[in-house]
Chains A and B, each alone.
Chain A
Amino acid sequence: MPSSWLFALAGGAMIGGAAALLLLTHGRIAGISGVLGSLLPPGAAPDRGWRLAFIGGLLAAGLIGAAVAPTAVGASVRTLPVVIVAGLIVGFGTRLGSGCTSGHGVCGLSRLSPRSMVAVATFMTTGAITAMIAGGVS
């Protein structure tokens, strides 16, 4: 088994454990786009405390990660304008579709949610087609 598979499995287990911790403590689905989006107007959620803390923890991991493992965040495969277009589409799409890889993927598939299963099948398919057309590095 290649070591990248073990890192993927270990990282995945950490993600699952983190999502379980948020469920146990706050009773919430650990969906990044949902938690982040609910902090944004209009219609921002009233209970901001745990949401800000959860996103803050995620950002802290990035800050610490940059110091202890600088290669963990990889270089871009696209030019900056393409990255910005990708970000815009991801932001709009995840809010319209009520979730992303964490909420629909990790939490939704585990809960056997039919909406999440359809969402995951859909974004994996369009992601695969897009990556195929756009190519490895451009």
Chain B
Amino acid sequence: MTAVTTTCGARCRAMSIVLALVAGGLLGAGLLVSGMTQPAKVVGFLDVTRGWDPSLAFVMGGAVIVYAVAFRLIQRGRKDPWFDVKFHLPTRRDLDGSLLIGAALFGIGWGLGGLCPGPGLVAAAAGSTTGLAFAGAMIVGMLAQHLTAKK
């Protein structure tokens, strides 16, 4: 634990872990409720040419509304998070080839399998063969990217 500093004792560290677990659990539950763990629904949303199912647009809509408001309230109200000395927010604003190619590849994989990373992990934990195959392959793909990345 490097990020949590001396002001955080054992109980505080335990609480920080519990709350990270709760955040992950709530996110996973949200994915299950929303329909993002149903590949047929995802493909039906992405493919606008065959009886388009727009419902998943409401997932992003609902999430962005809540997070956009919360983000501003938290940023305005606090100079640091509960369990760290500072916020760790991305600061880059430049567009580069890696961003574009990486996002393009991700979209191809998402449209092909109907799963993105979060739902893939949730489906794997649910014991779905598809989820396990997808999540295992995804981790291999991540490792491959790390090994080929220019430092």
Contact = CB atoms under 8 A, between A and B. Distances in A.
Contacts, number: 521
Interface of B: 1-4, 13, 16-41, 43-44, 46-50, 53, 55-68, 70-71, 74, 78, 80-84, 86-90, 92-95, 98-118, 120-131, 133-147, 149
Contacts of A96: 98, 101-102, 105, 145, 149
Interface in A87-120: 87-102, 104-111, 113-115, 118-120
25 contacts: A8-B56, A17-B30, A22-B20, A25-B23, A36-B121, A36-B142, A43-B146, A57-B27, A61-B32, A62-B121, A72-B33, A74-B41, A86-B113, A90-B106, A95-B149, A96-B149, A100-B117, A102-B116, A110-B67, A110-B71, A122-B103, A123-B104, A123-B107, A126-B103, A136-B50
B106 A54 contact: no
B113 A82 contact: yes
A91 B27 contact: no
Main secondary structure of the interface of A (DSSP, over half): helix
A15 B147 CA distance: 31
A54 to B, nearest CB: 4
B26 A14 contact: yes
